[in-house]
Structure 1
Amino acid sequence: MTATTGPKTGPDAGPLLAVRDLTMTFPGRRGRRRAAVRAVDGVSFDLAPGETLGLVGESGCGKSTTGRMIVRLLEPTAGSVVYAGRDISRLSQRALKPLRRELQMVFQDPHSSLNPHQTVARIVADPLLVQGVPAAEARERAAGLMELVGLVPEHLDRFPHAFSGGQAQRIGIARALATGPRLIVADEPVSALDVSVQAQIVGLLDRLRRELGLACLFIAHDLAVVKRVCDRVAVMYLGRIVEIGDKDRVYAAPAHPYTRALLSAVPLPDPAAERARERIVLAGDPPSPAAPPPGCTFHPRCPKAQDVCRREAPLLRVPVPGERREVACHFPETG
């Protein structure tokens, strides 16, 4: 079943983004016997206008690869990415260029994503210059964007090395907003920052999303951050979505054993509740995507696994009729 649960902006509003069976397989090395790696394996979800979807999971589960395919920094092996009713997954770079105004990305490491040899003015204005905006107008708009993200126009003629990590990420966000996008893919935008700075950047992204009406795919491994900024959450394991649905429902009563284990590791603000709760520790490490296990890929680590889990891969389905959530598990929690 396709993961299509989520709010709409009007009675007949369709999704802004529809991802269907998205797959990415990296070939093995030539000259050596090494199996191909299926980093993303049939991912499907919708994203409504103005909605934020959190994509979470352990490192290496395929989150960032999914985001890069959506904005066409990687070419999908199979599947489709339909943006505003148009399949962009096979468009030529020339045909894709006008749409890049509406699809932008914020990267994980703010300093490595900024050209150290360019001034901030050029970095922020560059997307506008590529789209044919005159240089003087592009600089003026860059100054306005600096103010929008909490910096000052006087910073425009500095180079990236002069900024802290949080300031550099604000510059990256300003660059992403330069062309007036409708959809932002934020790939671990706060994981490289100090904890004290993370809250500032998360607050900034949340404010900009609401003020500008942006749709956002928020990729992260920190479930506390995702809970703060997202409307829905999708949990990935070994290249597949295993649970997707309304944030409050997923956090309050996770249905997939993997989701339950992830949430049990999120610190609670109440010390007494933190001491009283049971931490779920999964056995072993995630299998290699080059040699995934048969059936449900989570079964080697799952405390509920039975014979059917070893034979058949579960499909995303609604565990309880009428619930705004889908789970890929043969024995989901329904309480």
Structure 2
Amino acid sequence: MSTPPLLSVRDLTMTFPGRGSRSARVRAVDGVSFDIAQGETLGLVGESGCGKSTTGRMIVRLLEPTSGTVTYDGRDISRLSARALKPLRREIQMVFQDPHSSLNPRRTVSRIIADPLLVQGSSAAEARARAAELLELVGLLPEHLDRFPHEFSGGQAQRIGIARALATGPRLVVADEPVSALDVSVQAQIVNLMGRLQRELGLSYLFVAHDLSVVRRVCDRVAVMYLGRIVEIGPKERVYGAPAHPYTRALLSAVPLPDPAAERARERITLLGDPPSPAAPPPGCTFHPRCPKAQALCRTESPPLRRTAAGEAREVACHFPETG
């Protein structure tokens, strides 16, 4: 018998109201479904505005889903009250994109890390001692406890953000673009840190990102989003080695290769135009206005997310997926 997933998301939808009284409602997330196993990292990738960060925020209930379910460890948490959700916040935490804007500039590092523990009932002495342990765990020193966020570099500030997320001993961490605001050299340090923490603490990650090179390094499986929907999901070896959706192929063709000869020789796929507005998505497959393979069926019928072949661990939402 297979082990149930730690997190199961089904048909998750988020609709925002338009800006004017007559404006169309914006469906930022449109029926997203995926699972995350204990100890697994799922990468969620796509262009800016595709809904990946909104999906992450709904999972930790910073945003209330319009519809759909979020099941954590066998329990539906998508409609829990704030009071019922409080104990579960120990187990589900978030790391934000911009480390400095996510840290309170008027609080010391000690208070920033200790606050989640104080909310959960720890004493001030216990919370400070735990904060010192966590700073060492993420590669900083206990002497940094009484400093303020502006005294740290971007990489150090993100380490503090990670320490805060780990304060309550979570099992699942939603990392929303955790390295995109950092220098490339610092990105590698933070990625290595997150990998080490996962191995030592048994963490599961939802890793939201747009940098496909980083995702390939840290993730076990990859889900590709376009205009609020997942268009391809599967093991990273399959998604990167033989992408089945035209959008995935286009994204991967834009990732620079370290070998200049291979970079010059490979096919570069250029998509037509910009992504459509989620307030007025096109009929049929939402990718068809930009797709080089679009046919008449694509303009009228939305493809479901389905396996490309029997026994295939990957699912693709395309009428004419690549095979191989």
TM-score by length of 2: 0.99
Q: CA RMSD in A?
A: 0.7
Amino acid aligned to 2:14: M
Query: Corresponding residue for 2:59?
Result: 70
Query: Corresponding residue for 1:178?
Result: 167
| Alpha-carbon distance, 1:278 to partner | 1.2
Amino acid aligned to 1:265: A
**Residues 12-37 of structure 1: per-residue CA shift (max 9 Å, x gap):** 31000000000000011244x31110
Q: Structure 1: which 5+ runs fail to align?
A: 1-10
Q: Does 1:34 align with 2:12?
A: no
Instruction: Please give the secondary structure, in 2, of the residue aligned with 1:80.
Output: strand
**Residues 40-60 of structure 1: per-residue CA shift (max 9 Å, x gap):** 000000010000000000000
Query: Corresponding residue for 1:190?
Result: 179
Structure-1 separation of matches of 2:88 and 2:175: 18
Q: Does 1:299 align with 2:283?
A: no
Runs (4+) of structure 1 exceeding 2 A deviation are none
Amino acid aligned to 1:194: D
Structure-2 separation of matches of 1:135 and 1:30: 47
| Alpha-carbon distance, 1:69 to partner | 0.1
Structure-2 separation of matches of 1:279 and 1:129: 52
1:255 to 237, 244, 248: 244
1:268 to 257, 260, 283: 257
**Residues 225-282 of structure 1: per-residue CA shift (max 9 Å, x gap):** 0000000000000000000000011100000000000000111122211111111110
Q: Does 1:92 align with 2:92?
A: no
| Alpha-carbon distance, 1:320 to partner | 1.6
Amino acid aligned to 1:19: V
Structure-1 separation of matches of 2:319 and 2:185: 41
Query: Corresponding residue for 1:122?
Result: 111
Amino acid aligned to 2:13: T
- Tell me which moved more, 82-91 or 204-213: 204-213
Query: Corresponding residue for 1:8?
Result: none
Pairing 1:74-223 to 2, within 5 Å after superposition: 74-223=63-212
**Residues 123-155 of structure 1: per-residue CA shift (max 9 Å, x gap):** 011110100011101101100100000000000
Instruction: Please give the secondary structure, in 1, of the residue aligned with 2:275.
Output: coil
Structure-2 separation of matches of 1:30 and 1:89: 28
Structure-2 separation of matches of 1:12 and 1:231: 18
TM-score by length of 1: 0.96
Structure-1 separation of matches of 2:141 and 2:246: 47
Q: Does 1:232 align with 2:221?
A: yes
Instruction: Please give the secondary structure, in 2, of the residue aligned with 1:216.
Output: strand
Query: Corresponding residue for 1:14?
Result: 4
Query: Corresponding residue for 1:245?
Result: 234
Structure-2 separation of matches of 1:12 and 1:274: 42
Instruction: Please give the secondary structure, in 2, of the residue aligned with 1:184.
Output: strand
Question: Identity over aligned residues, as a percent?
Answer: 84
Structure-2 separation of matches of 1:329 and 1:108: 31
Instruction: Please give the secondary structure, in 2, of the residue aligned with 1:104.
Output: strand
Residues paired across the two proteins, number: 324
Structure-2 separation of matches of 1:270 and 1:137: 52
Instruction: Please give the secondary structure, in 2, of the residue aligned with 1:19.
Output: strand
Amino acid aligned to 2:16: F
Amino acid aligned to 1:17: L
Query: Corresponding residue for 2:36?
Result: 47
| Alpha-carbon distance, 1:195 to partner | 1.1
Q: Structure 2: which 5+ runs fail to align?
A: none
